[in-house]
Amino acid sequence: MSARAYLARARLVPVVTIDDAARAADLSCALGDAGIRCAEVTLRTPAAWDAITEMVAVADETGVDVGVGTVLSADEVTRAHAAGAHFIVSPGFDPATVARAHDLGLACLPGVATASEAMAAQRAGCDTVKVFPAGLLGGVDYIDALSAPLVDLGFVPSGGVNPTTAAGYLAHRAVPAVSGSWMVRRDDIAKGRFDTIRAASFEAAALVGLA
């Protein structure tokens, strides 16, 4: 399945920053209970790789595919694949990282901020890119401008996406999914507030048409 087709089914990619891997399985359960189908675990904390392992271990039970975010190198792509990740996300476009993901059969979502980067990603075989930071770049209007000449490319906004903006993004023909962290706040995860996360995830799933 192409990255764009996969993301069109997912609709929403929660961005998880986790400080304690012991919280990971409960987090995955809360997301799965709400009908959310995937999560991006960012490599921003020492606990990230262990959390990815824990979430992959319960993925069949929760129904939540695990992706690895903040991927900066081909070596990290290799490690993500070995850990059982379904996809990788990068803050920018790096040809070696994209090539390694494609070699391993992983869906790959590189970040772009310009038309030149989007074109380079498309030439490297990507059918979808992450627009980051979407809010600062101009939101839906910016994606509309980028997608006008790049009609075959999908765009996933990330950065500043929230319940107020998500539906507007998803209404755009070039946006298969949105990426955001409002339903998985770092402090809520750290303090084990999974009822809060579950409730926010149900609301987010309904907002993007998963419920």
Distances (CA, A) of 107 to 52, 102, 174: 16, 7, 18
Task: Choose the catalytic residue: 54, 61, 76, 130.
Answer: 130
Separation between Cα atoms, residue 124 and residue 114, nearest integer Å: 16
Task: Choose the catalytic residue: 40, 76, 191, 203.
Answer: 40
Q: Which residues pair with 166 in a beta bridge?
A: none
The answer to whether 130 is a known catalytic residue is: yes
The answer to whether 203 is a known catalytic residue is: no
Neighbouring CB atoms inside 10 A of 135's CB total 16
H-type helices in 34-114, by residue range?
48-57, 59-62, 74-83, 95-104
User: What contacts 15, CB < 8 A, 6 or more positions away?
Assistant: 39, 40, 42, 69, 158, 179, 180, 181, 184
Separation between Cα atoms, residue 37 and residue 208, nearest integer Å: 12
Question: Which residues are the active-site residues?
Answer: 40, 130
